Structure 1
Amino acid sequence: MKRIIWVITALSATVLVGCTNVPKPEVQKYSDGELSVPSNYKSWPKFLSDIQRADTKQVRDIYINPIGNTTKMGDAFPNGTISVMEIYKAREAADGTPLKGPDGKFVKGELLKIGVMGKGAGWGESAPPELRNGDWVYSMYLADAKTKAPDDTATCRACHLPLKDKDYIFRYDEYFQKRASY
């Protein structure tokens, strides 16, 4: 019996030593424009919906993947967080003014673009230092979710830059307040 235990112990030690020599798989680092639109994002929790943008006559819906959805108020979003923003044009009356529904909100029109924002270790390193948003990167696509939009991601970065205290996320407080009400 002692011999069997000794053999099992010796084999276990050999396996463990062998495992330490196995190279770790390299984790992909992304730069702006490299994140694609996840095919399953509509199954993710909604971050926020029907965000009214009067300045651009747009309505936006934002989804967050399950990793990001585990974040608690006051914490930074973990690496692996991906959010997807659908940007809709507000429907317009004949005179060009946005149509509003009974609730006073803009009525969604056609889908214009889809933005993707993702976070991973070292992902933001390729951004110019003055525009770094931590480890976040940005991509923008046309409504087909495949064709890259001509938008300059430096605009995304510059807009999010003042939000360092909120992990560069717009409507951070609103999101957590909404979740707390459930």
Structure 2
Amino acid sequence: MKYVKWVATATILTTVLMGCAQTPPAPQAQKYKDGELPVPANYKGWPKFLSEIQRADTKQVREIYINPIGHSTKMGEAFPNGTISVMEIYKAREAADGTPLKGADGKFVKGDLLKVAVMGKGAGWGESVMPPDLRNGDWIYAMYMADGKTKAPDDTVTCRACHLPLTDKDYIFRYDEYFQKRIN
């Protein structure tokens, strides 16, 4: 009887070890530096973070997407590592006198896409941020022209400085609005 148990145990152990040997290692997460986070090719398929954000001060309309990792966050939680958001920045269409055109709903009419901003969070990503007093935890930023490939001349210091006061909202503008409007 002891021999049968030993053979059964050895067989199970051998099977488990063979399975482990054939299981590929988990992929290591890419570590990005501030200003280098690429625009994800599939971001338009992600949930919207917020839509048609009106920026009267810059005559812009913004559309913000968030990846499924970030979308799974619950109100009151920090966004997990792996969260990426993409913000499309559109110029508001203007009348001949330069004033922004508004639709029947009173909102700016979206014009040409100007830039695409990317904000991402990953373990240790914030370490690349200089100067250190402008670090937004492990969040980093990148700004691209409308094609999503050409780096914009914008300095990500501006992004970080603007988000810096939002420590209690994990450095995210409109954190409360997002969770209040989110359907699921």
What TM-score comes out, normalization by structure 2 length?
A: 0.90
SS at match of 1:159: helix
Q: How far 1:60 sits from its partner (Å)?
A: 0.2
Map 1:43-82 onto structure 2 (within 5 A). 43-82=45-84
The question of 1:131 aligning with 2:134 is answered yes
Aligned to 1:105: 107
Work out the percentage of aligned pairs sharing the same amino acid: 75
Aligned residues: 179
Q: Does the residue aligned with 1:39 lie in a helix, a strand or coil?
A: coil
Deviations 1:91-124 (A, max 9, x none): 0000000001111111000000000000010111
Instruction: For residue 133 of structure 1, report the CA deviation from its aligned partner.
Output: 0.2
Q: Could you tell me which residue of structure 1 aligns to residue 95 of structure 2?
A: 93
| CA pair 83-57 structure 1, distance change in 2 beyond 3 A | same
> By how many angstroms is 1:32 displaced?
1.1
Deviation for aligned residue 1:2 = 2.8
**Partners of 1:13 and 1:88 in 2: how far apart?**
55
Q: Which of residues 142, 160, 165 in structure 1 aligns to 2:168?
A: 165
Q: 1:43 to 1:18 in 2, by over 3 A?
A: closer
How many Å apart are 1:29 and its aligned residue?
1.4
Shift of 1:10: 4.4
In structure 1, give the amino acid aligned to 2:72: T
CA distance in 2, matches of 1:106, 1:17: 57
Q: For the aligned residues, what is the CA RMSD?
A: 2.1
Alpha-carbon distance between aligned partners in 1 of 2:9 and 2:137, rounded to the nearest angstrom = 51
**Alpha-carbon distance in 2 for matches of 1:10, 1:86:** 53
How far has the Cα of 1:16 moved from its partner?
Answer: 8.8
CA distance in 1 between partners of 2:126 and 2:163 (Å): 13
Q: Distance in 1 between matches of 2:159 and 2:174?
A: 15
**Structure 2 residue 48 is matched with structure 1 residue 8:** no
Q: CA deviation at 1:31?
A: 1.0
Moved >6 Å (runs of 4+): 16-19
Distance 2:101 2:20 in 1: 67
* SS of match in other structure, 1:61: strand
Task: Give SS of 1:6's match.
Answer: helix
Which deviations, in whole Å up to 9, do the C-alpha atoms of 1:23-52 show, x marking residues without a partner? 875432111111111111111000000000
What is the Cα deviation at residue 156 of structure 1? 0.3
What is the TM-score normalised by the length of structure 1? Answer: 0.90
